[in-house]
Homo-oligomer: A and B are copies of this chain.
Amino acid sequence: MTFEEYFPVWKELTAAQQSRISAAVFYREVPRGTLLHNGSEDCTGVMLLRAGQLRAYILSEEGREITVYRLLERDVCLFSASCMMRSLRFDITIEAEKDSKLWVVPVDVYQQVMRESAPLANFTNELMASRLSDTMWLIEQILWKSQDKRLAAFLLEETALEGSDTLKITHEAIGNHLGTAREVITRMLRYFQSEGMVRLSRGTVEVTDRRALELLSR
């Protein structure tokens, strides 16, 4: 599959616009753990994920984290190009959670084409709307959903992403996803273990009762 086949509104661009983008786009393969975008200092470009998994998170001054969303195959990331829009004024960090392959369209080229192309601007709008919906959902979760429900939902989501019931993940990393202190995660996981829902060992959490986690997460 080529970039042209992956990029959602490719066929709605003019030939001139297509060749401008084709001439500028570049391909990257990055190992797990690579920091792809670091707050507002960076403005790498619009990323289109071919394979792998990226994580976008925000960071407090004290170094606490919360995951805002994940990017999977075929997802497009705008925030790595946040300088493109003057109204995007927040610092987000994007990191490869798995070995990843991606295309990057440089900011200036994407922006030039978007300024003149209603299809590309409307596509970007839908993307933005989708991220905004994720963010609103996250606010509801943080405010109104109890921590144990969020943890149960997170464990189920992770096992689905990993394709395995055994997660190699530390309590601190889980806390960083959920915006919760490590101690709170440890306490809840121990409770889950006492209820037979998970089995804990050093550096891993094994889901042993999906059904109970599903019930809890609702």
Contact = CB atoms under 8 A, between A and B. Distances in A.
A144 B64 contact: yes
A116 B139 CA distance: 33
Interface residues of A, dominant DSSP = helix
Contact of A87 (B61, B68, B86, B126): B126
A135 B79 CA distance: 14
Given A66-B139, A85-B125, A139-B138, A90 B60 contact: no
A139 B142 contact: yes
A21 interface: no
A60 B140 contact: yes
Interface in A121-149: 121-122, 124-133, 135-140, 142-144
A39 interface: no
B135 A85 contact: no
A89 interface: yes
B128 A58 contact: no
Interface of A: 58, 60-62, 64, 66, 68, 85-90, 92, 114-118, 121-122, 124-133, 135-140, 142-144, 179
23 contacts: A58-B139, A58-B140, A60-B143, A61-B144, A66-B143, A85-B125, A87-B127, A87-B130, A88-B129, A88-B132, A90-B132, A90-B133, A92-B136, A114-B122, A115-B118, A115-B122, A118-B118, A118-B121, A132-B135, A135-B135, A135-B139, A138-B139, A142-B142
